[in-house]
Structure 1
Amino acid sequence: MSDRGNPDALTPYARSLGIEISGTEDGVPVMCVAFEEAVEGRPEHYHGGATGGLLETAGYAALRAELAERGREALLKPINITVQYLSAGKSRTSYAKGRVTKLGRRSANLTVEAWQDDRTRPIATAVMNVLVADPKD
């Protein structure tokens, strides 16, 4: 059975980093990852790839939730993702939430923010463009 249409499904990569759903806001999952060895880069700081993985996972979760709300089933294929690292992620839980800024018939544009203690002070943001393909194609 496929998890493709399930907005709460996590990829094996996300699970390997320890990313989980901490809750939902306005029907959109908020993702989190605890600080553990799997996400550590330099001592006591998140690896940039782990932060990028959290952002990407949150973006896809937001898009899957939007598609599910509209009753659409689709294969999601990345076009590009641009990450802006704003400050170092320290040794505590990080959170991320995506927002669909545009959903068309064949593509979607998303913005994502990651934060730790203070949501108004993001540690990283991302802009994602995703191909929304018909599963029959």
Structure 2
Amino acid sequence: MIEIDVPGKGVYRFEHLVLDLNGTISLDGAVIEGVPERLELLRRLVDIVVVTADTRGKAQELGKDLRVKIHILHPGDEQKQKLRLVRQLGSAVTVSMGNGSNDASMLKESGLGICILGPEGASSETMANCDLVISDINAALDLLLKPGRLIATLRR
């Protein structure tokens, strides 16, 4: 569990991390450098679920390599499927990260929603429905590994 006491907002307790695959932790079908090492450290603290439509057909293999759970979405209304997953895990105890329009509801519903403004960009809808925007997935994962960094951003 990750616990963060944010002045003016209270104590956050996170048990789950939900990560969008394409455009968030991977680019052009390859996991972004530095992500596997950070996920290895985070696995000791939270349950990690990677969500994907598996357009490249390699999600299960990736899950084994990264030692994370893979949640494959069915074609059609991916936004609702991601939202349902966060609700099943427990919205208040879930951190979500994504960049696409289909991530907006998931980020808004999560106890902490982080929009990744990476090389693929980020949907304006997603940016408007998150708690913070950060330009790099590794920096975002580091926020969870060093939660004091979040306090400065989220405090009131």
TM-score (norm 2): 0.23
TM-score scaled by structure 1?
0.26
Tell me which protein shows more strand as a share of its residues.
Answer: 1
Query: Which structure has greater helix proportion?
Result: 2
